Amino acid sequence: MRLNATLFVSFLLVGTAVIGAEPPVPRFAPWGVSLADMDTDTRPGDDFFRHANGRWYDRAQIAPDRSFIGIDSVINDQTDRDVRAIVEDMAKNPKSGGAIGRQVGDYYASWMDETGIEAAGVAPLKPWLARVDAVTDRAGLIKLFGTNGYTSPVDFAVYPDLANPTRYIAYALQGGLGLPNRDYYLLTGAKYDGFRKAYRDYVIRIQTLAGINDAAVKADRIIALETAIATAHWTPERSRDIALINNPMDRVKLIALAPQLEWDALLGHEGLGALPTVIVGQTTAIAAAGKLLDEVPLSTWKEYLAYHFVRTHAQYLPSAFDQANFEFFSKTLRDVPVQRDRWKRGVDQVNGALGEAVGQIYVDRHYPPASDAQMRELIANMRAALQDQIEHSKWMDAPTRKEALAKLASFDPRIGHPVKYIDYSPLSVVRGDALGNAVRADAFDWKLKLARLPHPVDRTLWNMTPQTNNAYYDPTQNQITFPAAILQPPYFDPAADPAANYGSIGATIGHEIGHGFDDQGRQFDASGKVRDWWTAQSAERFKTRAAMLVKQYDSYEPIPGVHIKGALTLGENLGDLGGLETAYAAYRRYVASHGEPKVIGGLTGDQRFFIAYGYSWQQKLREGRLREQLLTDPHSPGNYRVNGVVRNFDPWYAAFGVKPGDKLYLPPDQRVHIWSD
């Protein structure tokens, strides 16, 4: 199976004045956030998230087809509408957009053709299941493990080499589960027993719909196999450790690790046969998967492959398959009561298969070029602030500081959209063949990655589409990327008060830059190579701060009995804290140049900065979605990304007069400082 994922990954914010023109008005008057969302009856020092968002939280109703509501869902909904207009135009008039328009339109139209999908029934499945049925030995099984569309206990990815980030290399990683991660198989208690019972019912249902006989007996064998795989899987926390997952192996070592996987054949089927070396991630999990090939009958592995092909492609099949997928994965696991409208899921489908083709049109329609210049100016100011913080850091000694400054100097920001887009012309999209289009799109994406292997790393490539409301840091290239879709109010509004922009998009920029110096990112040097450039003294001081933050977050319990995993979320928590520190420093640089801002609505500039930060994490989740996040996601829930951060930051105490006795108050010696000491 191919893993399409990235491993691990002064600005004057008022518009240019025009004589005689009305001044620009922020989307959220009067200065950049919705004041009606605040709960001023809640003291900032008791619950700052609620102070900034409490009235909104009380009245917010999560849409029945969503697992959360918040700033991100507002932007996501708007982006979905923008993309819908694009793909529906192309579906109705496929010739209007040239070759790109035809591919986009045909892909979307095929997904939306529910009548045609129902009429086809299970016929599109039969050739794929016949290939499983035809397997008679382990060689045939290994071939399907390495064939597009089928699930394998080992996933593969192509990514820059950790030892030499100018070249690509393949990674072998643990995989093969149907549930979100190992915890869903192994945790005890009524809640998880219920999940597992519902999963068994789902496995039976999916097989029955596909016409597979003896579905209940086979479900028990499939789940037993998945449980054995899960038992050997590494925890998410352990999988974050760069030193543990960076294991380059030649064929001799691969064969010694897991001879049962027949590496020469497996890599050949994956298209990786010419590679002399593969980086193996979770070594013991992959070794255990190999042993299962000896211990588990071939017939059970075939049942596993057939089930997983149907499961992973259920949405392209008749509605009964699609509904079964929704009932379990969304309704049971995430508490989402209603399936999303088909057009919304169609937008997701096209974005996944032809993302940059859609993105090229999206940028033309919705991304003002002026945003580029403004964002680059803001980033420059953030870099200057972080440089000053590094230069004056009390815990970083001179040799480490020199390396840190070199890394900051080599930092590469990308804004809005790629400088060149993916050429999708080799991808065959056939109107009326939803399942085939999906499989071919997945194969195209993998072939695209394979084609890059012999060449130097292309630093212009993006791992997100322009229409993605998100951002990321790539440690191997020392790059941050901010797609066009995130550069909208309230994250970024050129007409807003500077305090609002620095507290929202500024803190997000600081977060992404800060990933270069978090517990993972700090292991990469200025060139993107994994190298220990820290002195022992500076490393120990950093680890002491990080351990304090882990302890703080371990104590938070969003669901009774389910805590935040401080070690799993450490990198993001460090990014949040360091990002806020840097954004505030950049804002104070702005104030030093332009004068102390006036009070607006009784709020000082500093208070507006922090309220904007809290507002930017406005979020409310269903319990099932929250549980999944706590078990699998390296990001803390939104309210803890506010309260857990500000209580460590001295200027927040000063801005709101937070004192001992307030619920968020931490004594100074218990506060974690990354760049603000």
193 alpha carbon, distance to own chain's centre: 28
- The number of C-alpha atoms within 13 Å of 249 and in the hemisphere containing its C-beta is 23
pLDDT of the residue at 16: 26
Q: How far apart are CA 488 and CA 469, in angstroms?
A: 9
CA–CA separation, 288 and 258 (whole Å): 8
User: Residue 611 is encoded by which pair of tokens?
Assistant: 């309220």
CA distance 639 to 55: 14
CA torsion sign, 629 to 634 to 638 to 641?
positive
The b/e string for 17-26 (b: 16+ C-beta within 10 A; e otherwise) is eeeeeeeeeb
* 459-478 per-position pLDDT tens digit: 999 999 999 999 999 999 99
Rounded to whole angstroms, the Cα distance separating 534 from 463 reads: 29
User: Which one, of 669, 646, 653, lies nearest residue 583 by Cα?
Assistant: 646
- Total Cβ atoms within 10 A of residue 590: 24
The whole-angstrom separation of Cα 49 and Cα 644 is 10
Phi, psi of 247 (to 5 degrees): -130, 85
Between strands 412-416 and 479-483, the pairing is parallel
Taking a C-beta distance cutoff of 8 angstroms, is the pair 53, 614 a contact?
Answer: yes
Give residue 93's pLDDT.
85
**104 φ/ψ sector (left φ>0, alpha ψ -120 to 50, else beta):** alpha
Q: Does domain 375-413+487-670 have CATH number 3.40.390.10?
A: yes
What does R_g of the chain's alpha carbons equal in angstroms? Answer: 26
Which residue in 148, 133, 175, 142 sits closest to 299, CA to CA? 133
In our burial notation (b when 16+ CB lie closer than 10 A, e otherwise), range 403-417 reads bbbebbeebebbbbb
Q: What is the pLDDT of residue 22?
A: 47
pLDDT at 475: 97
pLDDT tens-digit profile of 631-668?
999 999 999 999 999 999 999 999 999 999 999 999 99
Q: Which residues, in sequence order, are CB contacts of 234 under 8 Å at separation 6+?
A: 174, 282, 284, 285
For residue 110, which of 444, 435, 443 has the smallest C-alpha distance?
435
- Torsion angle (degrees, nearest 10) of CA 326, 331, 336, 342: 10
Backbone angles phi and psi of 324, in degrees to 5: -65, -40
Distances (CA, A) of 427 to 88, 103, 148, 453: 20, 8, 14, 19
Query: Which pLDDT score, from 0 to 100, does residue 95 have?
Result: 75
Query: Which candidate, 605, 510, 611, 572, places its Cα nearest to that of 49?
Result: 611
Per the DSSP assignment, residues forming a β-bridge with 173 are 155
Element (H, E) at 412: strand 412-416
Tokens found for residue 139: 């060689």
CA distance 103 to 110: 11
Residues in the chain predicted with pLDDT less than 70, given as ranges, are 1-24
Q: Where are the domains of the chain?
A: 63-121+320-366+430-450, 137-316, 375-413+487-670
Judged by phi (left if over 0) then psi (alpha if -120 to 50, else beta), residue 214 lies in: left
**Which residues have a Cβ under 8 Å from the Cβ of 244 and sit 6 or more positions away?**
238
- Residue 495: how many CA atoms within 13 Å on its side-chain side? 12
The answer to whether the beta carbons of residues 245 and 282 sit under 8 Å apart is: yes
Over residues 281-290, the pLDDT tens digits come to 999 999 999 9
- Tell me which residue of 608, 606, 609 sits closest to 655, measured CA to CA: 606
| Entry pTM | 0.93
Residue 282 neighbours by CB distance under 10 Å? 23
Could you give the C-alpha distances from 69 to 65, 74, 76, 625, in angstroms and in order? 11, 8, 10, 11
Q: Which residues contact 537 (CB under 8 A, 6 or more apart)?
A: 397
Q: Are 484 and 417 in contact (CB under 8 A)?
A: yes
What's the CA gap between 226 and 173, in Å, rounded? Answer: 16
Return the pLDDT at 19. 29
Which pLDDT score, from 0 to 100, does residue 24 have? 65
pLDDT confidence of residue 646: 98
- Domain 137-316 grouped into CATH 1.10.1380.10: yes
Supply the pLDDT for residue 12: 20
